[in-house]
Structure 1
Amino acid sequence: MAGASPDPSLYNEDLAPIPFARRDWSWLNMATVWMGMVHNIVVYEAAAGLMALGFSAWECMEVVAVAYVVLFLAMWFNARAGTRYGIPFCVLIRSAFGPAGAQLPVLLRGFCAIFWFSVQAFAATQAVDAVIGTVWPAWNAASLHILGMSAHMWGAAVLVWALHAWVMGHGVSRIRNFELVAGPLVILIGLFATIWALNVAHGPGPLFAVPSRLHGMAFVGAFASGVTGMIGMWATFAVNIPDLSRFVRSERDQVLGQAIGLPVTALVFTPMAIITTSATIILFGRPIWNPVDLLLALHHPLITVFGGAVIVLATLSVNTVANIVPACYDLINLAPRRLNFDRAGPLVMALGLLFAPWLWFNEASSIFQALGIISGLLGPVTGIMLADFFVIRRQSLDVPALYQRHGRYGGQHGWHMPGLIAFVIGGIVAALGEIVPALSALNAVAWFVGVAVGGAIYTALAWKSERRAVTDAGLQPQ
């Protein structure tokens, strides 16, 4: 940025490129960050969803392996620009959408991040409420309902939100230290739980003996749906991985860290969930996939307290990095003159509370369907970002121009039309399965369709417009 004059409406210290001298995340930091994110209640229960589709336990492992390898590849390539230039997603996306047009995918990503923060935080609230209620039964006596939630649940919510605020108060660069402890610790506790389950079940347990109910084309369709569903949990993070990779000191560190932390950790964690749940069938006669329900069913105060603390730790780990940090950058991008990271964090948590997850958490199928469509729109964004950086820009960006409204990436009054057109068309095609019942089969590959259509259309439209803009401005091709 030396010698450049960035537009104040597009620039502040939190959005500025991080110089190489200040990038101190190693492969270990990147790996432990992903360890902390992969271990959460939603991912734990995902195995139940796969088995409900008719897969055997071993087939669940195959679905997880394919999904997380695809995710790793998408994040590996999309993280490259963050590592090379030290810029976050909300700045990088200006290259493909223009400084004004970039606000559209940024707002979508920010909405999804705050929503998922709300979901995860309320899941942790239930765990805290269960723990305190078990240790101190008088806690449950505070049953007065306020705005649709009991007083004791409000007390638990205050504690959970305060814990998030405490972690965020240490700043984004120090979050790596928290994840360095949280990620491995959660997997260590999961290992202890698995050893306990193996002892109870005298082996992997009955779930591993359940045969597959899917064969032929039914298996193929369900496999595609399962892979897309697993990807859907992290599709939003596939676009904003530069928010983390900008802190990593080298390309080798980000690739190695993500390889260990993402597919490898997921393949370790999934059988842990299945084995532990297998033990619950022997103990209680039914599978218990929700960790909070399992803690309550065990009726052991010490285990409930310890297990609840682990659930809260896992939630803090995933929520901080996967939801709060991206949402902070997205809000800062909207108003860089007024917001910085310290101010954006409390705002994200306040907006998460306004989602009022306690009002719909147990009957949320329609809301999650709507959120799935919104998240699916980020498939085309992933394709557009990859096409822009690797095909159109050839991995070379004019970084100072990303902070200016007029210039190489300015487009038409701040709107780069190839990106917007590709985004709209890609999003419509990816959502056709939800809109047109006859095309519901597309839902099984919606994310892949969105990535392919968005990337292909953007490449076709941007190739000519970029060459024309370069010629008219007398600039050197990128």
Structure 2
Amino acid sequence: MTESSSPAPDPSPTGSYAPDLYNADLAPVPPERRDWSWVNMATVWMGMVHNIVAYEAASGLMALGFSAWQCLEIVAVAYLILFLAMWFNARAGTRYGIPFCVLIRSAFGPFGAQLPVVLRGFCAIFWFSVQSYAAAQAVDAIFSTLNAGWASLQAPFLGMQLRMWLAMAAIWALHGWIASHGVHRIRNFELVAGPLVILVGLLATMWGLHVGHGLGPLFAQPSHLHGAEFWSRFAMGVTGMIGMWATFAVNIPDLSRFVRSERDQVVGQAIGLPVTALVFTPMGIITTSATVILFGHPIWNPVELLVALGHPVVTVLGGATLVLATLSVNVVANIMPAAYDLVNLMPRRLDFNRASRLVLVLGVFFMPWLWFNEAASIYRALDLIGGLLGPVTGIMLADFYVVRRQVLDVPDLYRHQGRYAGRKGWGLPGLGAFAAGGLVASAGHILPGLAGLNAVAWFVGVAVGAGAYLALARRQPVPADDTAEALSRA
């Protein structure tokens, strides 16, 4: 089937569409409205890859004993794997114009799909909250530089000082303003934000090269890992890097549904994901190398670096860049998927704008200022949830490419009766495979003797989820989508 002939139902609801499975935001994007080019896809990824967590990721790898060059090797391998996973998982979104929360009904059934949707939504809202708090710290640094009286706003409330509450309010308001303009305006924002953050990163890199008279001491640091220990930690590093984006590998159809062609989504993701990551990572290492020369120790937190430099103009411009970088990743990687997930839960009550505002409210209730003090336990919990989403990726790939043979009867995805209904709305092969994959991928967190699985948890989850789904689908046959029938019903 060629892309131009891909089936897409009339976006207007019909009497046969279940009202709890359909609204305008969940409907397939018609071909004439799929207007994102490869440039849009690339700039969206540029804006997402450049965030504070990704900037600091190299420090975690070097803390494990890797050299700077080995860090780049890990980043290259991890992002190449991510690119391949997202390339294949994005195809259904590009072909049919449907979001993740609708596509997943094919394997899990309309009711069973809510389980992976809720898990993905939880991760998205949590990461929105954490990233926003990091940006609020940058706002605090800016206001402290511009107004000496800002630091006096220290009245505590619910474990946080008044000035940080005000900084958070500013960040939340900026997120709300951007998200309220809809998906296509978000695309235009990323068209500016992604390249601008790259430009500022290049300026910081030039500064680092000047201070370090070259790549700097961190690039001269040798590797402390050899033999089996090296390969074990290499696998752990790759899995950790993938873990930052494993949730987005699941809901990449939320973006690819707006792309005009398969070629555009592939080229855009190739430029925006692995290529940009390989450019951005050495930027962070070079800039941090300069801090070793200036301060005698590495400063990986960019907000701390701005404060340590003590130049008002640098603090204000650098802080504004960090805020822009956070907005660019949060709006697309966290608010958008979480909003779609909430709309999927309550399509009769929520549209995209209302759901995005609800994400902002729920993000406050996650109280990120308290989570920062318990980082170790929180990241373990997120690793566990991320491991559970690995099997979802495997199930989606197995279902679309092997069971469905890349053909979907799209209208049936919005009905309780039909080929995707499963058993009373529950897709037992998908649910069984999810349970099996999640159990195996998470076993290392439960049984100390299997702790080695944690280094490859995402890979194990994908493999077990896909294998179990195919096995269960054969034992309890999943109705295949006949091409001719699907075309005639679309």
TM-score tier (shorter)? over 0.9
- Contact 2:409 2:486 (C-alpha < 8 Å) held by counterparts: no
Q: What is the CA distance between 1:460 and its match in structure 2?
A: 1.2
Unaligned residue ranges in structure 2 (runs of 5+): 1-8
Q: What is the CA distance between 1:398 and its match in structure 2?
A: 0.2
Query: What is the match of residue 6 of structure 1?
Result: 17
**Counterpart code for 2:131:** Q
Would you say 1:145 and 2:152 are equivalent positions?
A: no
Query: What is the match of residue 375 of structure 1?
Result: 386
Map 1:56-455 to 2 at 5 A: 56-455=67-466
- Contact 1:57 1:207 (C-alpha < 8 Å) held by counterparts: yes
Q: What is the CA distance between 1:470 and its match in structure 2?
A: 5.9
Using the TM superposition, name which of 236-245 and 367-376 deviates more: 367-376
Residues in 2 aligned to 1:88 and 1:120: alpha-carbon distance in whole angstroms:
24
- Contact 2:239 2:455 (C-alpha < 8 Å) held by counterparts: yes
**Counterpart code for 1:377:** L
**Counterpart code for 1:232:** G
Residues in 1 aligned to 2:127 and 2:368: alpha-carbon distance in whole angstroms:
10
**Counterpart code for 1:133:** S
Superposed CA deviations along residues 63-114 of structure 1, whole A, max 9, x for unmatched, are 0000000000000000000000000000000000000000000000000000
**Counterpart code for 1:103:** Q
Describe the SS at the equivalent of 1:289: coil
- Contact 1:392 1:463 (C-alpha < 8 Å) held by counterparts: no
**Counterpart code for 1:15:** L
**Counterpart code for 1:408:** R
**Counterpart code for 2:304:** D
Using the TM superposition, name which of 83-92 and 371-380 deviates more: 371-380
Residues in 1 aligned to 2:24 and 2:262: alpha-carbon distance in whole angstroms:
23
Q: What is the CA distance between 1:5 and its match in structure 2?
A: 2.2
Map 1:458-477 to 2 at 5 A: 458-466=469-477, 469=479
Describe the SS at the equivalent of 1:303: helix
Q: Aligned in 2, Cα 1:57/1:414: closer, same or farther, shift over 3 Å? A: same
Superposed CA deviations along residues 352-407 of structure 1, whole A, max 9, x for unmatched, are 00000111213321011011101110000000000000000000000000000111
Residues in 2 aligned to 1:4 and 1:143: alpha-carbon distance in whole angstroms:
58
Describe the SS at the equivalent of 1:377: helix
- Contact 1:4 1:400 (C-alpha < 8 Å) held by counterparts: no
- Contact 2:403 2:480 (C-alpha < 8 Å) held by counterparts: no
- Contact 1:37 1:317 (C-alpha < 8 Å) held by counterparts: yes
- How many equivalent pairs are there? 475
Residues in 2 aligned to 1:237 and 1:308: alpha-carbon distance in whole angstroms:
26
- Contact 2:218 2:289 (C-alpha < 8 Å) held by counterparts: yes
Residues in 1 aligned to 2:333 and 2:70: alpha-carbon distance in whole angstroms:
27
Describe the SS at the equivalent of 2:477: helix
**Counterpart code for 1:114:** I
Q: Aligned in 2, Cα 1:418/1:477: closer, same or farther, shift over 3 Å? A: farther
- Contact 1:470 1:477 (C-alpha < 8 Å) held by counterparts: no
Residues in 2 aligned to 1:335 and 1:207: alpha-carbon distance in whole angstroms:
50
Query: What is the match of residue 19 of structure 1?
Result: 30
Describe the SS at the equivalent of 1:214: coil
- Contact 2:20 2:347 (C-alpha < 8 Å) held by counterparts: yes
Residues in 2 aligned to 1:463 and 1:396: alpha-carbon distance in whole angstroms:
18
- Contact 1:470 1:476 (C-alpha < 8 Å) held by counterparts: no
Describe the SS at the equivalent of 1:279: helix
Residues in 2 aligned to 1:323 and 1:470: alpha-carbon distance in whole angstroms:
33
Q: What is the CA distance between 1:477 and its match in structure 2?
A: 9.5
Superposed CA deviations along residues 174-215 of structure 1, whole A, max 9, x for unmatched, are 101000000000011000000011000000000001000000
- TM-score using structure 2 length: 0.95
Residues in 2 aligned to 1:341 and 1:466: alpha-carbon distance in whole angstroms:
35
Superposed CA deviations along residues 398-440 of structure 1, whole A, max 9, x for unmatched, are 0000000111100001001000000001000000111111111
> Alpha carbon RMSD of aligned pairs, Å?
1.4
- TM-score using structure 1 length: 0.98
Q: What is the CA distance between 1:465 and its match in structure 2?
A: 2.8
Q: What is the CA distance between 1:466 and its match in structure 2?
A: 3.1
**Counterpart code for 2:143:** I
Query: What is the match of residue 54 of structure 2?
Result: 43
Residues in 2 aligned to 1:203 and 1:4: alpha-carbon distance in whole angstroms:
67
**Counterpart code for 1:48:** S
**Counterpart code for 1:157:** M
Using the TM superposition, name which of 353-362 and 458-467 deviates more: 458-467
Aligned-pair identity (%) = 71
**Counterpart code for 1:279:** A
Using the TM superposition, name which of 166-175 and 414-423 deviates more: 166-175
